[in-house]
A = this chain, B = another copy of it.
Amino acid sequence: MSKKRPLILVTNDDGINAPGIRTLIDVMNTLGDVMVVAPDSPQSGMGHAITINDTLYCNSINVVNGDPHKEYSCSGTPVDCVKIAVNEILKRKPDLCVSGINHGSNSSINVIYSGTMSAAVEAGTLGIPSIGFSLLDYSMEADFGPAKKFVKAIAQQTIKNGLPKGVVLNVNIPKLNASEIKGIKVCRQANAHWEEKFDKRTNPLGRDYYWLTGEFVNEDKGEDTDEWALHNGFVSVVPVQFDLTAHHAMKELNTWDF
């Protein structure tokens, strides 16, 4: 690894034209050889969706302003992008996969809805050290500047140390100025959930329809959670696994009388 430049796959779920992925590409160009394979349109909230009953298009894009990386735009989901990058576009398995920087939080329970994190998890299932990055600012005008040094530090450490088998990183960055961010904290996922509110309306033809809206409810008072870290000015790093087995529940289930 120390002899050659690492090969880095970059993707996201806000689409290839989102400002967040541009920041991520800039940082990764300082660390290795970069291949971008990202959705051609926004895919927020797609979770771990894959395209199984439709065609996939994947097109090379001209990189402007002389940057050294290569870019492909793909018609599928974030998970599709990782699959097609690894199997059809890249000549070898990448040394790192980074996804984001997402416009908006993927802390706590949001990890299960997140296309950003699903791309990182998918790369993880393929044995690639992977990180999802998110900034706690939904705006397309968000300032990704303060995030840069943390993204770089975490990516460098991941390239250097690797990650335990079956583990990827979920990194969230608070919406603060660089001078206000206190550092990086390794955390557990806070125990929180969404309380939905549906906005019911009637369309011009008289048919009822809904918009999904909701409120994030954090029931977890722990000071070792990602929510606590973010509210207290830290960048949160949660190690995420895709073995979903609740090992602690097996003993109880084995007492059931089926």
Contacts and interface: CB of A to CB of B under 8 A. Distances in A.
Interface of A: 42, 44-53, 55-58, 76, 79-80, 83-84, 86-88, 109, 111-113, 118, 121, 125-126, 150, 153-154, 157, 161, 163-164, 166-167, 170, 183-184, 186, 188-189, 191, 193-194, 196-198, 200, 203, 207-212, 214, 237-250, 252-254, 256-258
Contacts of A193: 125-126
Tallying the copies of this chain within the complex gives: 2
Contacts of A241: 244-246, 249
A237 to B, nearest CB: 7
B47 A210 contact: no
A86 to B, nearest CB: 7
B244 A212 contact: no
Given A83-B196, A189-B244, A48 B50 contact: no
B48 A44 contact: no
Interface of A is mostly: mixed
A84 B258 contact: no
7 contacts: A83-B196, A153-B258, A186-B253, A188-B243, A188-B250, A238-B244, A244-B244
A198 B87 contact: yes
